[in-house]
Chains A and B, each alone.
Chain A
Amino acid sequence: MAIVGVLALQGSFNEHIAALRRLGVKGVEIRKPEQLRNVTSLIIPGGESTTMAKLAESYNLFPALREFVKMGRPVWGTCAGLILLSNNAVGQKSGGQGLIGGLNCTVHRNLFGSQLQSFEAELLVPEIASSEGGPETFCGVFIRAPAILEVGKEVQVLADYPAPSNGLLEENVEEERRVIVAVRQGNILATAFHPELTADTRWHSYFLKMADDTGEEALSSPVAIPVDISCVQQPRNDLPIYR
């Protein structure tokens, strides 16, 4: 059974683990740097990016996370995870926040507004449809969502969406301006929306293929997975998701 790490600092890590379970894959909660040695791919879930950054700083996770990305291991950030993976972030809290980096893009936090401006939208996702089958569109759940304003040449755009006209983008927004909401850069996948909150598991299966492609050379040396008592816990039951 494949094992995927899910950064479990706050937010929707249980939802990602539930989605992986529906695909027959085990998701392991990651809270400490040494736990990253036991997994070959990592999902950074949605939630509050400032909360996750604070805990990552307290637990000295940033160096290990940056190393994980640099080593070319598959990493997928959703919403807050996208922010943490970006090289540049605007719209941050005053004083900024810690970032893992690696994804050559500029992301704008909360571009679409507050909780009240949360929305669902049918996104055209041709890459996902051709890789995983199913409809050409995917229902993206956007919650206080960020969006990517610009990307480097090596970044593949997987989905975009009309820019909101809420005045947060400083320049004159042309009517046709679109912002980017899903990208892939080699081993890094990032989405501004939350596939873990819908029943459609194609993004998860797409990510698992990225993990498979990287191959089993994964662990540099065989490591016996230690039984970490601090992480043994009753499985948290799943909240309902949008169907």
Chain B
Amino acid sequence: MDEDATVGVCNFTFPRMPVQSRVNASRMCTSLISSRTHMPRGGAIFEVSRILDAKIAEKAGACAIVLSQSICFCNSRMIDPSLIAKFKAAVSIPIIARVRVGHVVEAETLQAVGVDFIDESEILGTADKENHINKGDFTCPFICGSTNLGEALERIKEGAAMIRTQGIESISGDIATTVQNVRSVMEDIKLLHNMSEEERLEFSGEIGVPSELAAQTGRMGRLPVVHFAAGGIVTPADAAFMMILGCDGVFVGPEMFDWPDPYKRARGIVEAVNRYNDPNAVVVAMSGLN
């Protein structure tokens, strides 16, 4: 497999492996996957569809960008790979691109092109109603969405290196579902943390989560991977709220760039993710945005 990050899109070749689970491929242990993907912690990741917005996000302090394509009929599929090289040339921060749930070939394509993370995104769409991608077969780390602890741990069992607890993606800025889902995950983690090992085993059976991951989560008192929130987050106060709820960072939707002075807003979000516990800092981050 060509791992050259600078390869032009016309030169990559697909790895010649069957679509079924590649049991002979080397699998990284969870701690290694996790160790390589700590770096977004404490950061804000911005969804962009234009080079200009990518540069604004980088300048404002984004720790990564997620690419989306602004042509509406293409919104439900993987981005045109030829666009990825343009974003890579434009910014130096990590680049994330999305694939539909279960779409192994979209994922192989993005890995061949050389993105930093692949987001197996239920928001983008679903290609396989029965199966998520077997992410442990890939060297590129994956981000997956969840709405509760059970889903989060299932995705981690499949090899997800980062979890995106997801609310509603809409331009209305409605974060109520995001907050509800983050709280649900955090409360179940807290319950697990306060249980004995036997109780954790029983609880994992009740809510249908892998028992060994439930045990690890309970012992650690957190998800064993980086955990961000997503869905309707467009203000520094929203971002700070997610950090107070216990997230490691936030995803910000592309609607942020439709607001006046997106640079200032993005910078405010980056600052609020860092200084979420300081109301005075959040005041500064929120002021003069509209």
Interface residues of A (CB under 8 A from B): 8-15, 31, 46-48, 50-51, 54-55, 58, 91-95, 109-110, 113-118, 120, 141, 143-144, 166-168, 194, 197-198, 230-233, 236-243
- Take A12-B38, A58-B271, A166-B4 as given contacts and tell me if A115 and B117 are in contact as well, using a CB distance cutoff of 8 Å: yes
Which A residues touch B30, using CB under 8 A? Answer: 240
- Take A237-B221, A243-B31 as given contacts and tell me if A109 and B92 are in contact as well, using a CB distance cutoff of 8 Å: yes
Interface 0/1 of B92-134, CB less than 8 Å to A: 1111000000000000000100111100000000000000000
Known A10-B61, A48-B39; 16 more pairs at CB < 8 Å = A31-B275, A48-B62, A54-B267, A93-B91, A93-B92, A115-B94, A115-B115, A115-B116, A116-B5, A116-B116, A166-B6, A167-B4, A237-B221, A237-B222, A239-B222, A240-B30
Which B residues touch A233, using CB under 8 A? Answer: 277
Interface 0/1 of B261-279, CB less than 8 Å to A: 0000001001101110111
B17 nearest CB across to chain A (Å): 17
- Pairs A–B under 8 Å by Cβ, sample size 14: A11-B43, A13-B42, A46-B39, A47-B63, A51-B93, A54-B59, A58-B61, A93-B91, A93-B93, A95-B59, A109-B92, A115-B115, A116-B5, A241-B34
Q: Is the CB of A51 within 8 A of B5?
A: no
A166 nearest CB across to chain B (Å): 6
Q: Is B220 among interface residues, defined by CB-CB distance under 8 A?
A: yes
Q: Is the CB of B61 within 8 A of A50?
A: yes
Residues facing A in B152-193 (CB within 8 A) are none
Q: Is the CB of A239 within 8 A of B34?
A: yes
Residues facing A in B56-103 (CB within 8 A) are 58-64, 90-95
Q: Is the CB of B32 within 8 A of A48?
A: no
Residue of B nearest to A53 (CB): B61
Which A residues touch B114, using CB under 8 A? Answer: 113-114, 116
In the assembled complex, the Cα of A168 lies from the Cα of B88 at a distance in Å of: 14
Q: Is the CB of B35 within 8 A of A241?
A: yes
Out of B111, B116, B225, name the residue touching A239 (CB < 8 Å): B225
Which B residues touch A12, using CB under 8 A? Answer: 38-39, 41
Contact-size category for B: 35 or more
Which B residues touch A10, using CB under 8 A? Answer: 41-43, 61, 63, 273-274
Q: Is B229 among interface residues, defined by CB-CB distance under 8 A?
A: no
Residue of A nearest to B138 (CB): A116
Q: Is the CB of A240 within 8 A of B224?
A: yes
- Take A47-B42, A93-B93, A240-B34 as given contacts and tell me if A116 and B140 are in contact as well, using a CB distance cutoff of 8 Å: yes
Residues facing A in B1-59 (CB within 8 A) are 3-6, 30-32, 34-43, 55, 58-59
- Take A12-B39, A12-B41, A54-B270 as given contacts and tell me if A239 and B226 are in contact as well, using a CB distance cutoff of 8 Å: yes
Which A residues touch B111, using CB under 8 A? Answer: 116
- Take A93-B93, A237-B220, A239-B225 as given contacts and tell me if A197 and B35 are in contact as well, using a CB distance cutoff of 8 Å: yes
Q: Is the CB of B36 within 8 A of A92?
A: no
